[in-house]
Amino acid sequence: MGNFKDFTKQYINGEWVEGSGAKTIDVLNPYDRSTLYSVKTVTKEDIDKAMVTAQAAQKEWAKTTPEERKEVLRKVISYLKEHKEEIIDTYPSETGGTVLSANIALHISFEELEEAIKMADEVNLMKEVPATIPGKENHVYRVPIGVITTITPFNFPLNLGVRTIAPAIALGNAVVHKPDVATGITGGVILARAFEEAGLPAGVFNLLLTDPKTDGTGDYLLEHPIPRFISFTGSTAVGRHIGAIAGRNLKKVALELGGNNPFIVLSDADVDRAVDAAIFGKFAHQGQICMATNRFIVHKDLAEEFTNKFAERAKSLPYGDPKDPATVVGPLINERQLEKAQAVIEDAKNSGVKLALEGKRVGNVLTPYVFTDVKNDSVLAQTEVFSPIAIIIPVDSDEEAIQIASETEYGLSSAIFTQDLERAEQFALQIDSGVTHINDQTVNAQPDIPFGGNKASGVGRFGNPWLVEEFTTTKWVSVQKVNRQFPF
């Protein structure tokens, strides 16, 4: 883990300081539950200091040129490249993600940073708009929004942090960032060190390693009056809570929440090609991805072949120590998530749902489970499992497959396998989700494509240029150049 462990503290106003909270959180290695490091949580005063310094620093940061902001982000890229081996070594120990996941996370982070560099040109611009009042000139400015609070989850902490923080800073804002404290290094310390080494002015980026649910600060971070925007990635339950607080405080939000993503295999699909994609879309990062496939909806004519081939492949996936490059299925992040997954399995088995592959718990790893002949209105099919549990739902027709794909409270990602691309595109537009991939699986990310969910999967879109609209605001300045005559 290199020297990142020396920085498992709060980063406020350009200084690494111990939290002044009464609680200490031990961060555990998800695979062997060894203690990696401990973090002293924050107090309301620590949060306040982060917010006040961010507000002051943002006023100066907003005056920088696009080139100055680009230069910092280029140096962040250089830092991550220089420390790639250290990051790859740290990643499995802290997140339980495999070496493959670590490389995917870094690759996506580089793409997000390159895209954020382009966004730096899109702020502090003035557009003249013809006036309807004689003698008036309209100047419309796009300006930074101010201080943005960013909150991210444990599953892909590095790139999920970068995808919101880098654009926010590129666009002249300041950030107070709270990653999941279980992944404090990959979710925040690495990026804070990169910004520090890149010479980002103190206070523009602040890091809070804490857990508001237990540190005694409650909703202080969310209710704080300084931030104008809360960017949240995490569960739908917490997203609803944050949305309510933001609404009451008239703050903008971006809410990237849960999913129940369907992977549809139509009657004319190439089953082998579908199984290849299905295995990745289900078991990447042991299913702990918001975009992971949650339901396989398969035409009945192909269901037996698909299920048998899928189960056979799932059974042979290497599982175990995420530091072993051969490992595909590593541990779940913690005991709570393991117990949630085991409860889903037990409930499904007790309800008589058929198992095509029975997995097992080996230490803190859950090996793949495959349930089949599942009904879409069952508790199992309506649950975001966020673990290596596959749910196969045979259907009588392609039309039924498309219909039930949207019969979930969520609407994030989806996939359709078929030989008829034109028909698939029409079907894709019928699915109530933010994303549909044809002849690919449900997990894809690209920084210049709108990414986000409908319904219980959230509000807003990541990606350039959608994030520019989210992380900036407008100012109308009119100049009356000729005396205006008024009606009274």
Ligand X SMILES: NC(=O)C1=CN([C@@H]2O[C@H](COP(=O)(O)OP(=O)(O)OC[C@H]3O[C@@H](n4cnc5c(N)ncnc54)[C@H](O)[C@@H]3O)[C@@H](O)[C@H]2O)C=CC1
256 is catalytic: yes
Of 153, 161, 203, 322, the residue at the interface with ligand X (CB under 6 A) is: 153
Q: Report if residue 161 touches ligand X, rule: CB under 6 A.
A: no
Residue 455 Cβ vs ligand CCCCCC(=O)O, minimum distance, rounded to whole Å: 17
CB 336 within 8 A of CB 302: no
| Contact partner at residue 384 from ligand X, ligand CCCCCC(=O)O, none, CB < 5 to 8 Å by partner kind | ligand X
Q: How far is the CB of 256 from ligand X (least distance, A)?
A: 3
The catalytic position among 94, 112, 115, 256 is: 256
Q: Are the C-beta atoms of 422 and 467 separated by less than 8 Å?
A: no
Q: Under rule CB under 6 A, how many of the chain's residues touch ligand X?
A: 28
Q: Is 227 in the site for ligand X (CB under 6 A)?
A: no
Q: Interface residues for ligand X in 230-259 (CB under 6 A)? A: 233-235, 238, 241, 256-259
Residue 23, burial from CB neighbour count under 10 angstroms (0-12, 13-18, 19+):
middle
| Closer of 151 and 311 to ligand X (Cβ) | 151
Angle between helices 398-405 and 421-430 (to 10 degrees): 30
Q: Which is nearer to ligand X, 57 or 412 (CB)?
A: 412
Under the binding rule (CB under 6 A), the answer on residue 428 touching ligand X is no
Q: Which of 180, 215, 398, 470 binds ligand X (CB under 6 A)?
A: 180
Q: Does 162 bind ligand X (CB under 6 A)?
A: no
- Chain contacts with ligand CCCCCC(=O)O (rule: CB under 6 A): 104, 155-156, 160, 289-291, 443, 445
Position with the least CB separation from ligand X: 234
Indicate which of ligand CCCCCC(=O)O, ligand X, none lies near residue 286 (CB less than 5 to 8 Å, by partner kind).
none
Shortest distance (Å) from residue 211 CB to ligand X: 5
Shortest spacing between CB 437 and ligand X, in angstroms: 15
470 touches ligand X (CB under 6 A) = no
Instruction: From the list ligand X, ligand CCCCCC(=O)O, none, pick the one residue 416 interacts with, judged by a Cβ distance below 5 to 8 Å according to partner type.
Output: none
Residue nearer to ligand CCCCCC(=O)O on the CB measure, 289 or 424: 289
User: 3-state secondary structure string, 439-474?
Assistant: CCCCCCCCCCCCECCEECCEECCECCCHHHHHCEEE
The item of ligand X, ligand CCCCCC(=O)O, none sharing an interface with residue 394, based on CB under 5 to 8 Å by kind, is none
Least gap, CB of 381 to ligand CCCCCC(=O)O (angstroms): 20
Residue whose entry in the numeric block shows the structure tokens 């930074």: 144
Min CB(354)–ligand X separation in Å: 26
Choice between 144 and 452, CB closer to ligand X? 452
Alpha-carbon span 340 to 161, nearest angstrom: 25
Q: Which residues pair with 149 in a beta bridge?
A: 176, 230
Give the one residue of 61, 319, 386, 471 binding ligand X; rule: CB under 6 A: 386
Q: Which of ligand X, ligand CCCCCC(=O)O, none does 443 bind, CB closer than 5 to 8 A by kind?
A: ligand CCCCCC(=O)O
Tokens of 218: 């409650």
Please state the closest distance from residue 399 (CB atom) to ligand CCCCCC(=O)O, in A: 30
Task: Find the shortest distance in angstroms from Cβ 327 to ligand CCCCCC(=O)O.
Answer: 17
Residue pair 259/457 in contact (Cβ under 8 Å)? The answer is yes
Residue 64 binding: pick among ligand X, ligand CCCCCC(=O)O, none (C-beta 5-8 Å cut-off by kind): none
Closer by beta carbon to ligand CCCCCC(=O)O, 56 or else 100: 100
Separation between Cα atoms, residue 301 and residue 394, nearest integer Å = 9
Nearer to ligand CCCCCC(=O)O among residue 93 and residue 441 (C-beta): 441
Distance CA 145, CA 336 (A): 37
Closest to 58 (Cα-Cα) out of 251, 178, 200, 223: 200
CB under 6 A: which stretch of 132-140, 229-237, 303-311, 375-383 binds ligand X? 229-237
Looking at the DSSP bridge assignments, the partners of residue 184 are: none
Beta carbons of 399 and 372 less than 8 angstroms apart: no
Binding site for ligand X (CB under 6 A): 151-155, 160, 178-180, 211-213, 219, 221-222, 233-235, 238, 241, 256-259, 290, 384, 386, 458
Residues serving a catalytic function are 256
